Amino acid sequence: MIPRETVDKILDSARIEDVVGDFVSLKRRGANFIACCPFHNEKTPSFYVSPAKGIFKCFGCGKSGTAVGFVMEHEGLTYVEALKFLARKYHIEVVEKEETAEEIASRQRSESLYLVSEFAGKFFRDSLMSETGRVGYAYFRTRGLEDATIEKFGLGWAPAARTALYDEARKAGYKEEFLIDTGLCYRRDDGKVADRFYDRVMFPIHSPSGRIIAFGGRTLRSDKTVAKYVNSPETEIYVKSRSLYGIWFARNEIVRRDRCILVEGYLDVISMHQLGIRNVVASSGTSLTVEQIRLIRKYSQNVTIIYDGDSAGIKAALRGINLVLKEGLNVKVVLLPDGDDPDSFSRKHTLEEVEAFLKSHEQDFIGFKSDILLDEAGDDPLKKAELINDIADTVAMIPDPVKRSVYVDTCSERFNISTRILFERIRRTREDMLLEERRQEEIRRRRETAGLEAANDVPDSHVTVSEPAVQTEPVSLEDPFLAPCEKELLGFILENGQTPLEFDRDSEYYIPDDRPDTVAEFIDNWLSQDAVEFSNTAYRKIYDLYFGLYDQGLAQTQIQSRLMNSQDPDVAAVTTDILVDKYILTVDNYRRALTSVATQLIIFVPRSLLAYQGRRLDKMTRELSLSLASSPDPDEQVQILGRMNALNKARALINNKLGRV
């Protein structure tokens, strides 16, 4: 574990222009630097580095972050690994906290499992090129795989002898317990240890960082009593629901193309990679999981699902759509001609033909579901209604309200049905979803209270995370109506939170005091008067973290650094986005136009608070209008109209103040 003071020293030493300059050729432009983005192809530079703020921002692909975030993104490192990378660059000694005996044992055990898996991978590769592996090599060649592809993916052969791997591993000094705990071997009923994989071609499964964590083995026999595939069981280093086959080979291409192609099988991935389409991964023979989608989301927001055109492939695609949409990703579906899978289709066509087919046959989920389910519905109006409800329920899965609205319009046009009816169905579905989520959360909370789940709190003084602290995809916002105002207020806090607001004596905001409120204090006091909290979780989280650090006495720049380098990807992404100069090309002219920062703040901070207050009143008025329209009770309608009248009066007062400010 890295002590907090060492982390701060690394962050203070890392100059963004030096770090990025090691990988990208930077050119100075005013106070900033520009370059062509290293994360996507472009001819005109849209990648900016701001030394003053210590951040980078690409206005083409949207990626942004600090020096730590850049190293994580570019080198594929975890947060801790990126810190150590920068520590080496700036010759900072990292003395990690002494581990307990349990921590040392756990770390060493995991490393032993990795080493055993890597030994097995080499054993299977060598076996493929041996005399006994000729049948496996011949199989791969008949599937159209070239030697370079076989080597790249580490394909291999498990000999027919039941203890071939076990004997070699024991001879090399590997312990029996680790061979069993990786799932490579198992103990038989007679007490002897045998290989799990034998007489099969082997597909190693890699982690996102490139280490072998598991295997899949395919039999070449036609005997129906023999399982076609045997896969590694779940272990400490391999959880099937969190793993994607091919992610190690595809992740950079997924980032570059900003799209992940999702297929079903090992050979689907390998054949498409060999053809030249390398942003492809597979769910490894398991139904798509939320954890797998979140792994994809680290690299891209866009997913194209390519499944077989048969009944099983269609059902798999339908299952996957809802999961992908619910996690906030954009999804397209491509069905191949019946009888083809991505492997066979890739071997039949050229790269240009496959790319053209994918481009011309991509469908959004509405078109896909409509084409599939309308055939089943025929002329039956009830079945058609069920189809529309099914599509509306799928739209309800989308967390972004703007995207939901766009899809409602599409669905309305396609089926000639009122958007009002669709929105009402979606509203009810989302309410049901929310109730279910709350029920599950309550179950989880009760289990935690009962001690059935272990706590996972980490002291603030140490860094122990292994997940990235940078997030390039947009953060989901629950309340987009209030989001612009909340973001603007948070921007004042993050940029100028410790700047005093020195109002003139004739200002209504002037309070006789020896020490005027800072921007942060002024905003917090204003919101506290009405017990107002930000509606959007991401903004509220940063607000609370800011004031926690503010109360500790940290300087503004220290707070900015802590938040931009936060281990929480939402916090890091939103903070960095807010602190990036939106008009970086004209920033110097913009600053010269200001009379002074202090003067601008005493004008615009109160104005932004008034605008936020007015926006909240508008939201309450809209909600009351909807209630009024749906209420059949005349007395209730009168009460609603009374509340709306009061809100309108309050809004008029705010409008007057906004006009006067």
Domains detected in the chain: 2-89 (3.90.580.10), 101-238 (3.90.980.10), 247-426 (3.40.1360.10), 483-660 (no CATH)
The confidence band for 414, taking pLDDT boundaries of 50, 70 and 90, is: confident
Buried-exposed string 615-626: b where 16+ CB fall within 10 A, e elsewhere? bbbeebeeebee
Residue range 248-269: mean pLDDT, rounded: 88
Q: Which helix (H) or strand (E) holds 55?
A: strand 55-58
Q: What is the pLDDT of residue 9?
A: 82
**For 93-137, what is each residue's pLDDT tens digit?**
887 666 667 767 777 888 899 999 999 999 999 999 999 899 999
The confidence band for 346, taking pLDDT boundaries of 50, 70 and 90, is: very high
Whether 181 and 174 have beta carbons less than 8 Å apart is answered as: no
**For 39-54, what is each residue's pLDDT tens digit?**
888 778 888 888 867 8
Residue 300 has pLDDT above 60, yes or no: yes
Q: What is the pLDDT of residue 656?
A: 74
Which span out of 216-225, 522-531, 620-629 was modeled with the highest average pLDDT?
216-225
Which span out of 314-318, 396-400, 492-496 was modeled with the highest average pLDDT?
492-496
Q: What is the pLDDT of residue 347?
A: 94
% of the chain at pLDDT higher than 90: 26
The confidence band for 585, taking pLDDT boundaries of 50, 70 and 90, is: very low
The confidence band for 586, taking pLDDT boundaries of 50, 70 and 90, is: very low
Please state, in angstroms and rounded to a whole number, the distance separating the CA atoms of residues 24 and 401.
37
Q: What is the pLDDT of residue 434?
A: 80
Residue 581 has pLDDT above 70, yes or no: no
The confidence band for 659, taking pLDDT boundaries of 50, 70 and 90, is: low
Reduced to 3 states (helix: H, G, I; strand: E, B; else coil), residue 149 is helix
Whether 576 and 564 have beta carbons less than 8 Å apart is answered as: yes
Which residue would you say has higher pLDDT here, 339 or 181?
A: 181
The confidence band for 454, taking pLDDT boundaries of 50, 70 and 90, is: very low
Q: Please name every residue paired with 557 in a beta bridge, in sequence order, or none if there are none.
A: none
Residue range 238-249: mean pLDDT, rounded: 91
Residue range 159-186: mean pLDDT, rounded: 94
Q: What is the pLDDT of residue 63?
A: 85
% of the chain at pLDDT higher than 70: 87
Phi and psi of 560, rounded to 5°?
A: -60, -45
Whether 217 and 228 have beta carbons less than 8 Å apart is answered as: no
* Alpha-helix residue ranges (DSSP H) falling in 58-207: 67-75, 79-89, 101-128, 134-142, 147-152, 164-171, 176-181
Phi and psi of 453, rounded to 5°?
A: -125, 135
Whether 493 and 597 have beta carbons less than 8 Å apart is answered as: no
Which residue would you say has higher pLDDT here, 197 or 33?
A: 197
The confidence band for 255, taking pLDDT boundaries of 50, 70 and 90, is: confident
Whether 332 and 367 have beta carbons less than 8 Å apart is answered as: no
Q: What is the pLDDT of residue 587?
A: 40
Question: Which two structure tokens, joined as six digits, stand for 439?
Answer: 């029920």
Residue 327 has pLDDT above 80, yes or no: yes
Residue 538 has pLDDT above 50, yes or no: yes
**For 465-484, what is each residue's pLDDT tens digit?**
333 333 444 566 788 888 88
Please state, in angstroms and rounded to a whole number, the distance separating the CA atoms of residues 143 and 644.
70
Q: What is the pLDDT of residue 452?
A: 38
Q: Which amino acid is at 368?
A: F
Which of 68-77, 93-102, 133-142, 253-262 has the least mean pLDDT? 93-102
Residue range 442-449: mean pLDDT, rounded: 62
Q: Using CB atoms within 10 Å of the CB of residue 485, give its burial: 0 to 12 exposed, 13 to 18 middle, 19+ buried.
A: buried
Question: Which two structure tokens, joined as six digits, stand for 510?
Answer: 């002037």
Residue 513 has pLDDT above 70, yes or no: no
Q: What is the DSSP letter of 518?
A: B
Q: What is the pLDDT of residue 232?
A: 94
Residue range 183-192: mean pLDDT, rounded: 93
Residue 462 has pLDDT above 70, yes or no: no
Full-model pTM? 0.56
Residue 177 has pLDDT above 60, yes or no: yes
Please state, in angstroms and rounded to a whole number, the distance separating the CA atoms of residues 179 and 185.
6
Q: What is the pLDDT of residue 195?
A: 96
Q: Which helix (H) or strand (E) holds 563?
A: helix 556-564
Residue 589 has pLDDT above 50, yes or no: no
The confidence band for 449, taking pLDDT boundaries of 50, 70 and 90, is: low
Please state, in angstroms and rounded to a whole number, the distance separating the CA atoms of residues 487 and 481.
11
CB count, 10 Å around CB of 15? 14
Please state, in angstroms and rounded to a whole number, the distance separating the CA atoms of residues 339 and 310.
7
Residue range 243-253: mean pLDDT, rounded: 89
Which residue would you say has higher pLDDT here, 204 or 580?
A: 204
**For 640-653, what is each residue's pLDDT tens digit?**
788 888 888 888 88
Please state, in angstroms and rounded to a whole number, the distance separating the CA atoms of residues 411 and 73.
37
Q: What is the pLDDT of residue 447?
A: 59
Which of 145-149, 287-291, 536-540 has the least mean pLDDT? 287-291
